Chain A
Amino acid sequence: MCLAIPGKIVAFHERSGMRMGKIDYGGITRDVCLEYIPEAALGDYVMVHVGFAISKVDEEEAARTYKYLTEMDQLQELEAPEPELGPPEAER
């Protein structure tokens, strides 16, 4: 129910006095109310819930978290067992 999906703002328009945007979700586009993100600009990513953008995706934070996650514990990689170099199971 509290599902919110990240999408990219590809166009702005107005509908009966409300600031709306066209949001692209990897190929599918929908109209979304942007009244709650007045600072939103073209190309920004927003989290959309029931037709409303509720927050702007902070790209720096996203990049920082992802970098941390992927680089987390690189030392651990060195401790990982050597990959099995034998032939594929089917050929054994």
Chain B
Amino acid sequence: MKYVDEYRDHAVAQKLIAEIKRTVTRPWTIMEVCGGQTHSIVKYGLDYLLPKEIELVHGPGCPVCVTPLDMIDRAHAIARRPDVIFCSFGDMLRVPGSNGDLFQVKAEGGDVRIVYSPLDAVRIATANPSRKVVFFAIGFETTAPANAMAVWHAKAQGVRNFSMLVSHVTVPPSITGILQSPNNRVQGFLGPGHVCAVMGYREYEPIAARYQVPIVITGFEPLDLLEGTLMTVRQLEQGRAEVENQYARAVSRDGNVEAQKMISRVFTVANRSWRGIGIIPKSGYRLSYELQDYDAERIFEVENIQTLEPAICISGQVLRGLKKPHDCPAFGRECSPQTPLGATMVSAEGACAAYYNYGRHRVAVESLGAKV
């Protein structure tokens, strides 16, 4: 496939790795922000190919992972209602709430449907005027324009039985939060390529300057990730702290202005709670006041939600780059993608799930000296 296959060329990857080895003179800790980047790194074993001086730690950019448990419970309560058709992206269905997952809700008679695009949910609403169609709107800035358009379009078309349960988060406040932490280890970032395709990268420039940290907007293919790492290492070695754009084929400094306009028409910046991390001020979106008739959180009052996260889970520290999955005693034992205990195991893009799915729990168990 054009613009995919050529970025997986292993001969070019070898050259990039050789160049990184020549450039690096001392240890550096670099965080890739996106779950999709984490998934690629672990899938292709890129971290194993890098020189030992470079440690990649995995960031908070997995929206499924950071959707708080109380929001998932709220989604399940709405999906169980007989008058509701509950629509969601496929990755959300396996995420367990306090009482099972959306597959279980569906098995028990809830009308739960997987949609590929939020516009599909609007079409389902048009086709089922007697039912209330609720779309579970999660995601980062990449997904926000699509979800915003669904509401805008529903309103324009007079579709009154459509609403959204919004749990949108944004990247820059989470990066700032990591950098402000007294325990922070991250010295450079591979920035979120597709988030910046929408938002551009101007808002990262003050972060790089204020915290003196290089941020290289990076794509998702193996060569993108290696080139992004090389650009970050060059900056670190030269003592620079700038925003650079590795992913220029898809990202411009200003981003997609039309998409940004729609986001600000439909959403308002709000405080958001991140699973494993807690509340981060102004770190997400909710529907604007003018669109509250489409806000499922207002339409369906769900009370008495009480959630309890397992004390053993260290996903909050994994999401901030403080720990790795195999630092957790539960990893690969009580906690696996089938029985996830926390944020980073619930989605294939979570660091713990990526490590598990690509066999790294075996390495972890052996290194702990346990008998397999």
The verdict on A26 contacting chain B, using a C-beta distance below 8 Å, is: yes
- In Å, the complex CA distance between A1 and B194 comes to 10
On whether the beta carbons of A73 and B194 are closer than 8 Å, the reply is: no
* A residues apposed to B, CB below 8 Å: 1-6, 8, 16-18, 25-26, 33, 35-38, 45, 47, 49-52, 54-55, 57-59, 61-62, 64-66, 69-70, 72-73, 76
Q: Are B1 and A49 in contact (CB under 8 A)?
A: no
**Which of A25, A58, A65, A76 neighbours the largest number of chain B CB atoms within 10 Å of its CB?**
A65
Contact A35 B258 (CB under 8 A): yes
For the complex with contacts A1-B140, A2-B195, A55-B252, 18 further pairs of A-B residues with Cβ separation under 8 Å are A1-B62, A1-B89, A2-B34, A2-B193, A4-B142, A6-B250, A36-B259, A36-B262, A49-B194, A50-B116, A50-B146, A51-B119, A52-B117, A54-B145, A58-B250, A72-B19, A73-B18, A76-B18
Docked complex Cα distance between A16 and B117 (Å)? 16
Q: Check A69 against B227 for contact (C-beta < 8 Å).
A: yes
In whole angstroms, how far apart are the Cα atoms of A65 and B258 in the complex? 26
* Interface members, chain B 1-58 (any A CB < 8 Å): 1-4, 6, 9, 12, 15-16, 18-19, 34-36
* Closest CB pairs A-B (n = 5): A51-B117, A62-B249, A6-B3, A26-B1, A61-B248
Which of B145, B195, B347, B349 has the most chain A CB atoms inside 10 A of its CB? B145
CB distance from B193 to the nearest CB of A (A): 8
Flag whether B223 is at the interface (Cβ < 8 A).
Answer: yes
Which chain A residues border B250 with CB–CB below 8 Å? 4, 6, 47, 55, 57-58
Question: How far does the Cβ of A14 sit from chain B's closest Cβ, in whole Å?
Answer: 13
> How many angstroms from the CA of A17 to the CA of B119 in the assembled complex?
13
Q: Is there an interface contact between B248 and A1, defined as CB atoms closer than 8 Å? A: no
B248 contacts A65, C-beta separation under 8 Å: yes
A35-B91 contact, Cβ under 8 Å, with A2-B35, A6-B1, A26-B2? no
Chain A interface main SS type: mixed
B120 interface residue (CB < 8 Å to A) = yes
| Neighbour of B157 across the interface among A16, A38, A64, A66, CB < 8 A | A16
Q: A2-B142, A61-B249, A73-B19 are in contact. Are A16 and B153 (CB under 8 A)?
A: yes
A2, A38, A54, A57: the one within 8 Å of B249 (CB): A57
Interface residue total, chain B, C-beta cutoff 8 A: 58
Q: A47-B197, A54-B197, A57-B249 are in contact. Are A1 and B63 (CB under 8 A)?
A: yes
Bound-complex Cα distance A40 to B89 (A): 27
Bound CA–CA A86/B118 (angstroms):
59
Say whether A33 contacts B258, CB under 8 Å: no
Q: Which of B64, B156, B259, B349 has most A Cβ within 10 Å?
A: B259
**7 examples of A-B residue contacts, CB within 8 angstroms:** A1-B36, A2-B194, A3-B36, A6-B2, A6-B250, A33-B119, A61-B248
Bound Cα distance from A65 to B1, whole angstroms: 17
> B220: CB under 8 A from chain A?
yes
Name the CB-closest residue of A to B230. Answer: A72
In the complex, are the beta carbons of A45 and B16 less than 8 A apart? no
B228 to chain A, nearest CB (A): 11
Which residues of chain B are within 8 angstroms of A49 by Cβ–Cβ distance? 142-143, 146, 194
Q: Are B15 and A51 in contact (CB under 8 A)?
A: no
Most buried by B among A6, A26, A51, A55: A55
Q: Which residue of B lies closest to A20 (CB)?
A: B119
Which of B146, B192, B259 is close to A51, meaning CB atoms less than 8 Å apart?
B146
Q: Is B317 an interface position by the 8 A CB rule?
A: no
Whether, in the assembled complex, B149 has its beta carbon less than 8 Å from a beta carbon of chain A, the answer is yes
Indicate whether B134 reaches chain A with its CB closer than 8 angstroms: no
Question: In this complex, what residue of B is CB-closest to A60?
Answer: B249
Q: Does B15 lie within 8 Å of A33, measured CB to CB?
A: no
Please, how many angstroms separate the alpha-carbon atoms of A80 and B259 in the complex? Answer: 48
The reply to whether the CB of B198 lies closer than 8 angstroms to some CB of chain A is yes
Residues of A within 8 A of B12 (CB): 69-70, 72
Write out the residue numbers on chain B whose beta carbons fall within 8 Å of the beta carbon of A66: 6
A37 to chain B, nearest CB (A): 8
Chain A nearest Cβ from B164, distance in angstroms: 14
